[in-house]
Amino acid sequence: MRFFCVRHSVLHSALCSAKRLSRVSRYDRVKAIVKELTDSKKALFVDNPAPARLQAALAQQSRKQALTFTSGVTLRNVRKQLHGRNLWFFANPDVGPKNVTIELEGEYRLEAWNPHTGETGKNLPVTHKDGKTAFHLTLDGCQSLFVVEKQ
């Protein structure tokens, strides 16, 4: 019986040590991920993230690549960067058509790629003013379009 208790104690101690090591390993991993994100400026650390502090921190961030729908009508959208080019995907999930005017921070030459027809390389008329690019899109219901930065 005493042997079992000693073995159990040793086993329990070993399990606790393994758990502690596992916690330390996870902690170190999380710490490394947070450091990588904050060093790359892809994340922002806000101590005590109250609404006012979050708003102030976000206001200090660059608005580069910001997108604004200036017509009051919006589309679902996603922006990605691939091979040094900016790509925006716009979708109209509604049944009816939508006419939108979009303004991007920065000056771009753009082309439209239609995923429904496969047509690519169609020049998209844009206007440049005050470091911004504006363009107009019309999407029928349940349609989408890629807007791609020309090289």
Residues 48 and 102 in one domain: no
Q: For residue range 45-67, what is the model confidence (pLDDT) as tens digits? A: 777 888 888 888 777 765 555 89
Residues 98 and 73 in one domain: yes
Q: In what order do the strands lie in the sheet with 76-82?
A: 76-82, 85-92, 143-149, 110-113, 122-124
Residues 75 and 123 in one domain: yes
Domain boundary among 38, 60, 82: 60
Residues 79 and 116 in one domain: yes
Domain boundary among 20, 36, 60: 60
The lowest-confidence range among 8-12, 36-40, 85-89, 119-123 is 8-12
Residues 104 and 31 in one domain: no
Q: Is this prediction's pTM over 0.75?
A: no
Q: For residue range 69-119, what is the model confidence (pLDDT) as tens digits? A: 999 899 999 999 888 899 999 999 999 999 999 999 999 999 999 999 999
Q: Which helix or strand (DSSP H or E) is residue 111 part of?
A: strand 110-113
- Cβ neighbours of residue 53 under 8 Å, at least 6 residues apart? 46, 47
Domain boundary among 15, 39, 60: 60
Residues 56 and 114 in one domain: no
Total count of domains within the chain? 2
Say if CB 112 and CB 129 are below 8 A apart.
no
Q: For residue range 133-148, what is the model confidence (pLDDT) as tens digits? A: 999 999 999 999 999 9
Residues 142 and 75 in one domain: yes
CA distance 113 to 121: 6
Model confidence band, residue 5 (pLDDT cutoffs 50, 70, 90) = very low
Model confidence band, residue 125 (pLDDT cutoffs 50, 70, 90) = very high
Residues 30 and 83 in one domain: no
Residues 49 and 76 in one domain: no
Structural domain of 97: 67-149
CA distance 108 to 53: 33
What's the CATH number where 124 sits? 2.60.40.1180
